[in-house]
């Protein structure tokens, strides 16, 4: 298995632009997580899906952030409009069932200038 | 809500020596899992070791072992025979194991470990 695949690996965009991050979880996994990593705040959960349904989105910073999981093999995290403070590494992770190991993608390093 | 605290922002160890990374957590849950993840400069998050709270025996994975003290809510990681490839950020993480709602991983702030040749 190729593991969790995220794209792009790096994204540089101008303030105000829309940014879409993509994730393909491991086949067969039914839980998907989006995390954001910054020096100041560490790793924070943004949103958690179970069987394609958002279960916990309390970590989504504000209305500028939205996430979708249209099917079991694809998820997106969208930021519109982007701001410099959104600059971070965004990780997608997936797991099989509850309380099992979460496998992480390589992350997307987002820079908003 | 759960919190995870790693009190050592940075540590260093000589190659082939042993080092222990500390982690404490706070929770009202009785059933949960604890993890140590490694993040090398490549940025990839890699699971190092996992402990189920209901198990009294400490988990071991080759050179990596934990000291799990449930009453004290402590979960330290011991790395034996340190290797240069162990240089990385190490994150302690908590996940609840039962009940409804979210099963997110809650992470500590991390410990940056440097293995010195």
**Nearest CA-CA partner of B103 in A89, A91, A59, A50:** A50
How many secondary structure helices (H) and strands (E) does chain A include? Answer: 0, 11
Q: Could you tell me if B56 lies within 8 Å of chain A, comparing CB atoms?
A: no
Q: Does A101 touch chain B (CB under 8 A)?
A: yes
pLDDT at B29: 87
pLDDT band at B101 (very low <50, low <70, confident <90, very high): low
DSSP state of A84: G
Considering CB atoms only, which of B102, B107, B108 is closest to A48?
A: B102
For B14-26, what is the mean pLDDT?
Answer: 98
Q: Do B105 and A104 touch (CB under 8 A)?
A: no
Pairing of the two strands B111-116 and B10-14: parallel
CB A26 within 8 A of CB A94: yes
Q: Select from A74, A67, A69, A29 the least CA-distant residue to A52.
A: A69
| B109 touches A: beta carbon within 8 Å | yes
Task: Give, in degrees to the nearest 5, the angle at Cα B35 between B57 and A38.
Answer: 160
Q: Is the CB of A104 less than 8 angstroms away from the CB of B44? A: yes
Residue of B nearest to A32 (CA): B104
The pLDDT mean for chain A works out to 93
For residues A72 and A64, give the distance between their C-alpha atoms in angstroms, rounded to a whole number.
Answer: 24
Calpha distance B45→B59 (Å, rounded): 19
Taking an 8 Å cut-off on Cβ atoms, the answer to whether B102 and A56 are in contact is yes
Task: Report the alpha-carbon distance of residue A101 to residue B63 in Å, rounded.
Answer: 20
Work out the number of other CB atoms within 10 angstroms of the CB of residue A27: 10
The pLDDT value recorded for residue B56 is: 87
- Inter-chain touch A33–B104, beta carbons under 8 Å: yes
Give the model's pLDDT for residue B102.
64
A81 cis-preceded (ω within 30 degrees of 0): yes
pLDDT at A94: 94
CB contact under 8 A, B105 and A45: yes
For residues B18 and A86, give the distance between their C-alpha atoms in angstroms, rounded to a whole number: 38
For the cut 70, the answer to whether the pLDDT of residue B100 exceeds it is no
Residue B35: asked if its preceding bond is cis (omega within 30°), the reply is: no
Chain B closest-CA separation from residue A64 CA (Å): 22
Q: How far apart are CA B45 and CA A104, in angstroms?
A: 6
DSSP for A5-69, please give it.
Answer: EEE-SEEEE-TT--EEEEEEPPTT--EEEEEEEETTTEEEEEEEEETTEEEE-TT--STTEEEEE
pLDDT in tens, B38-71: 999 989 999 999 999 998 899 999 999 999 999 9
Q: Which of A34-48, B41-55, B75-89 has the highest mean pLDDT?
A: B75-89
Size of interface A-B (CB pairs under 8 A): 50
Inform me whether the pLDDT recorded for A106 exceeds 70.
yes
């Amino acid at each position: 298995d190729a593991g969790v695949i995220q794209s792009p690996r790096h994204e540089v965009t101008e303030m105000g632009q829309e940014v879409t991050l993509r994730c393909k979880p491991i086949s067969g996994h039914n839980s998907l997580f989006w995390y954001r990593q910054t020096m100041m705040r560490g790793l924070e959960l943004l949103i958690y899906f179970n069987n394609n349904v958002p279960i916990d989105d309390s970590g989504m910073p504000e209305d500028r952030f939205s996430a979708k999981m249209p099917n079991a093999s694809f998820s997106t995290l969208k930021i519109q409009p982007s701001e410099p403070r959104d600059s971070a590494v965004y990780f997608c992770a997936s797991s099989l069932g509850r309380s099992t190991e979460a496998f992480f993608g390589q992350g997307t390093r987002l820079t908003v200038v | 809500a759960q919190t995870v605290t790693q009190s050592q922002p940075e540590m260093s160890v000589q190659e082939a020596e042993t080092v222990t990374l500390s982690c404490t957590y706070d929770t009202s849950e009785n059933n949960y899992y604890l993890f140590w993840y490694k993040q090398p400069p490549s940025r990839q998050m890699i699971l190092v070791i996992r402990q189920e709270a209901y198990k009294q025996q400490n988990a071991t994975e080759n050179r990596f072992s934990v000291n799990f003290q449930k009453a004290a809510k402590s979960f330290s990681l011991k790395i034996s025979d340190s290797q240069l490839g162990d240089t990385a950020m190490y994150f302690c993480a908590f996940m609840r194991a039962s009940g409804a709602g979210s099963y997110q991983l809650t992470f500590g702030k991390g410990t940056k470990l440097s293995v010195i040749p």
